[in-house]
Structure 1
Amino acid sequence: MSGASREARASARERLDALADNTSVDAAKLAEELAAVTALLDREVSLRRVLTDPAQTGEAKAELVRRLLGGQVGGETADLVAGMVRDRWSRSRDLVDALEELAAGADLVAAERAGALDDVEDELFRFGRIVGSTPELRAALTDKVAGRAAKAALVGELLGGRANPVTERLVVRLVAQPRGRSLEAGLDALSKLAADRRDRMVAVVTSAVPLSEAQKQRLGDALATLYGRRVHLNMDIDPEVLGGVQVRIGDEIINGSIADRLAEAERRMAG
């Protein structure tokens, strides 16, 4: 997002955080309703264009939202969406993207209240790794011919009773309504949102063998010192690393593996 949309999304996040501080607000219900509004505006292109039309006053657009959603969603959801359409958006699609993010954020609030945010974050990462290593599963979850109900049922078979309900809801919504993203990109975005709930960065740590708890603690402390923020470690095992670790944070890769050092030595010898 750029310009006005970025500012509008930041304002929407602040409103969600304010709701999250109110424990009387049902975060799971808020997430479900925001997801329904997201689906509505994703389908109705003309409606979302009206709701982001800079020629219309913010109050007029907010009133339209209240008329459309009144009786369909709770007051908190209607107020949140009304506040969003009062702001200016660079593109109409940006409003839908922000709503989808808020829906996921509300579900993560529910997980945080239950003390399960770390579990959800880890489960999203592990599910992403399973999808990445199982082409048949990825094909089934991204099949454009298969209906949303069939994909949701498949996710239920895979995660039902094995993962936190929040994890299952997030993955079901992602596969049912990918909105042009790859499954991997969607899961990665959800993992980052979960980390942001605790103001943490996410590091994917690849090693040849599992690290001990003491090693993970030292690595996490070192990365936190380096980046000035808490860093959540998602652990992955790859025997080809041979030794040491490889750390990826966003687009940045920190290599400390034996394989990487051997490759560097070979390049120097070849030079």
Structure 2
Amino acid sequence: MRGLSRSSLAAVEERFNAVAASADLGRLADELRAVADLLDREHGLRRNLSDPARPAAQKAQVMRMLLEGKVSDAALETAVAAAEARWSRARDLADALERLSVVASAAQAEAEGRLDDVEDELFRFGRIIAANPGLRLALTDPAAPAEGKERLLSELLADKVAPSTLRLITQLVVHPRGRSLETGLEEYSSLVAEQRQRLVAVVRSAVALTDEQKQRLGAYLRTSYGRDVHVNVEVDPRVLGGFSVRIGDEVIDSTIAGRIEEVRRRLAG
């Protein structure tokens, strides 16, 4: 988000933080996602609630009429705050509620001591999808019923991942909101990492790193970036040797394959 929407998001997050402290976080996550889905489906409602020309009090009243008695007080107050805010684009209203739904799931995982698990499980699920085209097709086929996708995910992941992980993956599969599954997993992973103000580093290496190597790399990156860094390792024999690190749009490449490609570019130039 940019400009006006960024400042509005900060204000809505402040209200969310106040009401989430005593809320059932799992329920709050589900309810905020449901409201975001409603706004995605009802374009006229979304335009009206994000119209900067309409008074904030009027938009808040509409949101209360829609949700009062149907969702928890925490979800209601968060949705009302979002309706009162001013957004650069109509879509940003639903985006803000989806974001806070993910934050609620991450907060639940943190309260359960499973935030690291959720980060790792989202990353590993992305690798599983990349390696299984048939599974990816089954989960992303727009013609396949949502109930079947939910059942498949439950069979695959229930009792194997944290409840927050299953909730987040199910949300992405059932309501992709125009994103690829891979893009959605990356976005959610970043939001989960932000729960502890951490960056996410994706390391590509020809061989798996030991726990000690991951810890040393994490310590080096923490010193370099001034923030904690969660290290995800992707084993890829194509790198030949060494490893590359991607944090956001920045790539540190010390692989042999990367050096060969650099030589090729220089020779071609």
Do both proteins adopt the same fold according to a TM-score greater than 0.5, normalized to the shorter chain? yes
2:9 alignment counterpart? 9
Match for residue 177 of structure 2? 179
CA contact (8 A) 1:128 1:187 kept: yes
**Contact 1:31–1:106 (8 Å) recurs in 2:** yes
- Of the structure 1 ranges 243-252 and 255-264, higher mean CA displacement relative to structure 2 is found in 255-264
TM-aligned CA deviation for residue 225 of structure 1: 1.5
User: In 2, Cα distance between the equivalents of 1:62 and 1:100?
Assistant: 18
Q: The residue matched to 2:143 in structure 1 has which SS?
A: coil
Partner of 2:52: 54
Where does residue 161 of structure 1 map in the other structure?
159
* Residues in 2 aligned to 1:68 and 1:270: alpha-carbon distance in whole angstroms: 62
1:105 maps to what in 2?
103
Deviation at 1:2, TM superposition (A): 2.3
For residues 265 and 3 of structure 1, the distance between their equivalents in structure 2, rounded to whole angstroms, comes to 42
In structure 2, the gaps of 5 or more residues are none
Q: How does 1:8-47 map to 2 (within 5 A)?
A: 8-20=8-20, 22=21, 24-47=22-45
Residue 231 of structure 1, aligned match among 186, 207, 229:
229
- How far off its partner does 1:270 sit? 6.8
Residues 90-132 of structure 1: CA deviation (Å, up to 9, x unaligned): 1111101111111111111111100001100100000011111
The whole-number CA distance in structure 2 between the counterparts of 1:215 and 1:9 is: 38
Code of the aligned partner of 1:61? K
Partner of 2:124: 126
Within 5 Å, which residues of 2 pair with 1:122-271? 122-265=120-263
SS of residue matched to 2:36: helix
Offset at 1:41? 1.0
Structure 1, unaligned runs of 5 or more = none
Alignment partners' CA distance in 2, 1:2 and 1:261: 37
Aligned AA (2:146): R
Compared CA separation, residues 63 and 217, structure 1 to 2 (3 A): same
Q: Say if 1:66 and 1:258 are closer, same or farther in 2 by CA, change over 3 A.
A: same
| 1:45-66 residue CA offsets vs partner (Å, 9 max, x unmatched) | 1111111112211111111111
Tell me: CA distance 1:43–1:216, structure 2 relative to 1, closer, same or farther (3 Å): same
Structure 1 residues 256, 69: CA separation in 2 closer, same or farther (over 3 Å shift)? same
- 1:234 aligned counterpart, secondary structure: strand
Distance 1:72 1:267 in 2: 60
Task: For residues 55-79 of structure 1, give each alpha carbon's deviation from its aligned partner in whole angstroms, at most 9, with x where no partner exists.
Answer: 2111111111111111001111111
Determine the C-alpha separation between the residues in 2 that align with 1:228 and 1:80.
Answer: 32
Cα pair 2:15 2:77 within 8 Å, conserved: no
Q: How many residues align?
A: 269
> Does structure 1 retain, via aligned residues, the 8 Å contact 2:146–2:174?
yes
Asked if the contact 1:48–1:92 (Cα under 8 Å) also holds between the matched residues in 2, the reply is yes
TM-score normalised to the size of structure 2?
A: 0.95
CA distance in 1, matches of 2:174, 2:88: 27
- Tell me the distance in 1 between the aligned counterparts of 2:217 and 2:227: 13
SS of the equivalent of 1:210 reads: coil
Question: CA separation in 2, counterparts of 1:45 and 1:269?
Answer: 53
- Residues of 1 paired with 2:73 and 2:24: CA distance? 11
Q: Deviations over 1:119-147 (max 9, x none)?
A: 00100000011111211111111101101
**Helix, strand or coil for the counterpart of 2:254?**
strand
User: In 2, are the aligned partners of 1:16 and 1:106 still within 8 Å (CA)?
Assistant: no
CA RMSD of aligned residues (A): 1.5
2:113 matched to which residue of 1? 115
CA contact (8 A) 2:12 2:85 kept: no
Once residues 80 and 246 of structure 2 are traced to their aligned partners in structure 1, the CA distance between those partners, rounded to angstroms, is 39
The answer to whether the 8 Å contact 2:15/2:78 transfers is: yes
Q: Distance in 2 between matches of 1:41 and 1:270?
A: 51
After TM superposition, give the deviation of residue 267 of structure 1 in Å: 5.2
